[in-house]
Structures are given as C-alpha cells and as structure tokens.
Amino acid sequence: MDLSTNPFAILTFISAPAVLTNASCVLLFGTGNRYGRAIDRVHELADIVEARANLDESELRLRIRQLSAAETRTLLIVRALTCFYSAVAGFVASTLVSLIGAALVSAGIKRGVEFCFALSLIAGSLGVFAMIAGAMMLLWRPGFPSGSFAKKRASSPNACRCVSGDWSEYERQGEVAERVSHHG
C-alpha cells in the first residue's frame, strides 16, 4: 500500500486505533465498576468470616470458600484492568506513530515511513491482543459452577442467607436454574 498517494490509508491508520482506544476505555470503565463491587464483596465476606457470629461449621466453611473465590475473581479483574490499560497504551502509541508517519509523508520524507507503518501495526496488534486477553479474563468465573447457587440454597437454607431477608428474587433465579439444568 502506497501511503503517499492514498490519503484514506493514512486516515485508516489514525482512526482505527482511536476507535479501538475508545472501546478499551469503555471496557476499562465497566471493569472498574466490577472491581469496586468485587472489593466490596470481599470485604463483606471477610467481615462475616472474622465475626463468626451465628455461623455453624458448614456455613463458615461455605463463607471461606466464597471468600477465596471472591479473592480470585478480584485478582482476575485486576489482571483484566492491566490488560485494558495496556491495550489503551498500544492504541495510543499506534495513533501517535501513525501521525508521525503521516507527517513524514506530507513533508516528503520517505526515510522513516515504512518504519512508522511497521511500528504502528505492531503497537496496534499488541493492543488488540491485550484487549482480547482482558475480555477473556472477565469471562472466566472461578468458583461459580453452573447452578451452584440453587444447589447451595437447597442443601442448606441458612448457607446463603440474603442480608435483607427477602429471598423472592433469588428463589425465582434458583427455580429458573433448576429448570434449565433439568432440560439441558
């Protein structure tokens, strides 16, 4: 592709990383919210385990397992955030190098154009891989096998006590999970 005669090629190399930067930032904001909720859940479970008030042995073991899963989940979210920040950095670098390459083309300097093109492509590719890796980390849910909430609720009515005491929404979800597991 001849960058000096095709202005759309230059525009593509500048706008594509900018759009991907925007997508990464959206993922960052959503993941940041998930991180906040995950930290709150870890603190809540840690307080319950530390207090041990009104917990029988099986419920305490359950809460400790939940705490371990919540900690693992929080660490995955931190890794995903790191990937998304790396993706943003890759896309920003790709955009900056593309701008430098476009400036070289418009100035008629041929010497660094191919290097800028290659560097921009590498930085953008690294950004894409980081974004995919972060998204994959968010998909993996350790400690939450399918239907586990309904099984825990059925095995011990006190094991997953709702803080507000209103189980209606959770019971509906459990019924749906049981129907899905029996039909699928």
Domain locations in the chain as residue ranges: 7-143, 145-184
Q: How confident is the model at residue 3 (pLDDT cuts 50, 70, 90)?
A: low
Per-residue model confidence (pLDDT) at position 170: 40
Report how far residue 108's alpha carbon sits from residue 102's, in angstroms, rounded to the nearest whole number: 10
Strand extents, DSSP E, the chain? none
- Of 51 and 145, the structure prediction assigns the larger pLDDT to 51
Helix (H, G, I), strand (E, B) or coil at 111: coil
Per residue in 21-74, pLDDT tens?
A: 888 888 888 889 999 999 999 999 998 888 877 778 888 888 889 999 999 999
Which tokens sit at 135? 């998204």
Per residue in 68-114, pLDDT tens?
A: 999 999 999 999 999 999 999 998 898 889 888 888 888 888 888 88
DSSP for 6-52 reads: -HHHHHHHHHHHHHHHHHHHHHHHHHHHHHHHHHHHHHHHHHHHHH-
Which tokens sit at 97? 């190098």
Neighbours of 183 (CB within 10 A): 6
Report how far residue 90's alpha carbon sits from residue 86's, in angstroms, rounded to the nearest whole number: 6
Residue 178 above 80 pLDDT? Answer: no
Residue 148 above 70 pLDDT? Answer: no
Rounded to two decimals, the pTM is 0.66
